[in-house]
Structure 1
Amino acid sequence: MKSPKSMVGLENLGRVRLSKSFYMRDFLHSEIGSFYGIPNIPDHPDVAIRAGEHLASQLLEPLQETFGPVRIRGAYRCAKLNAFGNENGLNCAHNRRAGSRHVWDRPDKNGNIGAMACIVIPGFADRYAEGADWRSLAWWIHDHLPYGSLYFHPKMSAFNIGWHEKPQRRIDSYIAPRGCLTKPGMDNHEGRHEEWYRDLFTQ
């Protein structure tokens, strides 16, 4: 598929189904793009679709089946949009780092593809507002899903979740305790962590 050059072409791209519940259109909205008038259109749609299929089917669908609706806060960014966000201090990494993350259609420096989305799980956001520990969800994902990386944020316990061809399997957070929860080589990385999430959604 070529990069869309018309509204009809963009509509057709948006209709591409990435998984049981998610379509490409779900991942194309950008507040930066909307506010500054920068179209968020992939330069290489086939690469973006391939990476997005893995993200949606392997990570988002299992989360939705287990915990209820998943809401996309931000996901795909074209290279032009991401560069603008980085240059203007809008919480976008440099394009050198964003490839295989939010810029789905650009590989990382090693040539691997990936896709990242910032999501909220409303059911967990409610529990988090009542005092639930973000680490309960983080450890559940770690034990059950083939994620590449996770990064948790304080507002609504939103988190970045990424699929990657060469998964790093690292979890970080801006929520206390801030920093790295786990990564390969840490004592807590291997094994199961049921004690954290056994009662995750019980009253």
Structure 2
Amino acid sequence: MKSPKTVAALTEIGRVRLSRSFFMRDMLYSEIAQVHGLLNVPDDPDVAIAAGRRLCEELLEPLQDHWGRIAIRSAYRSREVNGFGNRMQKEGKAGYTCASNEANAAAHIWDMRDADGCMGAMACVVVPAFWDAHQGKGDWQIMAEWIDRNLPYSSAWFFPTYWAFNIGWHERPQRRIDSYAEPKGRWRKP
């Protein structure tokens, strides 16, 4: 499949079903792209779709099956969108939290293999029912422990707002969980 350059082609890629509950269209929304008029579409749709399917089938579907509906906050980012977000983050602009394109290869940039040639995909999600039930200090660790015990994840990063977290699938999983929420840093298994 070619990178979409027309409305019809973008519609076609958006209709690609990644798993039982998720379509590629669900993964393409970006506040950065919306505000700055950038096109957030893959240069290599075949790689993005392959990685996205693994993310959705192996991580997001089981997460949703156990905890209830998940909300996608951010998922796929094009090199252009991610690079722009990284530049704004370096300039200290509020709301921009993108790592470099190299660091986000095989993570938020699904169609860019990492330095080792591996494929991966990441999404930032919120689990509303989990937040509703677990708002105590450090309660994000309940979800971290469940993920570690039940999912073939590569990495996860937790945030303080609604216990949102990045969760990533990768061909060579790291099995590492970190947090910007208290207690900050690398999560240690209990």
Establish whether TM, by shorter chain, passes 0.5.
yes
Answer whether contact 1:128 1:156 (CA < 8 A) is retained: no
Answer whether contact 2:30 2:74 (CA < 8 A) is retained: yes
Residues 121-130 or 30-39, more deviating = 121-130
Which of 156, 168, 176 pairs up with 2:174?
168
Letter in 1 for 2:170: H
Rate the CA distance shift 1:123–1:137 in 2: closer, same or farther, 3 A.
Answer: same
Deviations 1:147-196 (A, max 9, x none): 000000000100000000000000000111100014xxxxx4xxxx6xxx
Extract unaligned runs of 5+ from structure 2.
90-95
* Counterpart for residue 16 of structure 2: 16
* Counterpart for residue 42 of structure 1: 42
Answer whether contact 2:138 2:181 (CA < 8 A) is retained: no
* Counterpart for residue 199 of structure 1: none
Larger radius of gyration: 1
Letter in 2 for 1:166: R
| CA drift at 1:88 | 1.1
Structure 1 Cα separation of the partners of residues 110 and 60 of structure 2:
16
Structure 2 Cα separation of the partners of residues 120 and 26 of structure 1:
14
| Structure showing greater relative contact order (alpha-carbon pairs closer than 8 Å, 6 or more residues apart) | 2
How many equivalent residue pairs?
184
Structure 1 Cα separation of the partners of residues 83 and 181 of structure 2:
27
Answer whether contact 1:152 1:159 (CA < 8 A) is retained: yes
Matched-pair identity in %: 52
Answer whether contact 1:128 1:157 (CA < 8 A) is retained: no
* Counterpart for residue 114 of structure 2: 108
Structure 2 Cα separation of the partners of residues 111 and 18 of structure 1:
22
* Counterpart for residue 91 of structure 1: 97
| CA drift at 1:132 | 6.9
Extract unaligned runs of 5+ from structure 1.
183-187, 194-203
Answer whether contact 2:79 2:109 (CA < 8 A) is retained: yes
Answer whether contact 1:99 1:107 (CA < 8 A) is retained: yes
* Counterpart for residue 77 of structure 1: 77
1:62 aligns with 2:68: no
Structure 2 Cα separation of the partners of residues 96 and 59 of structure 1:
23
What SS does the corresponding residue of 1:88 show, helix, strand or coil? Answer: helix
Deviations 1:9-29 (A, max 9, x none): 000000000001000000000
| CA drift at 1:127 | 1.8
Q: Normalising by the residue count of structure 2, what TM-score does the alignment of the two structures yield? A: 0.94
List structure 1 runs of 4+ shifted beyond 2 angstroms.
128-132
Q: Normalising by the residue count of structure 1, what TM-score does the alignment of the two structures yield? A: 0.88
* Counterpart for residue 93 of structure 2: none
Structure 1 Cα separation of the partners of residues 138 and 60 of structure 2:
21
Deviations 1:16-44 (A, max 9, x none): 00001000000000000001100101000
Answer whether contact 2:138 2:183 (CA < 8 A) is retained: no
Letter in 1 for 2:139: D
1:127 aligns with 2:133: yes
| CA drift at 1:96 | 1.0
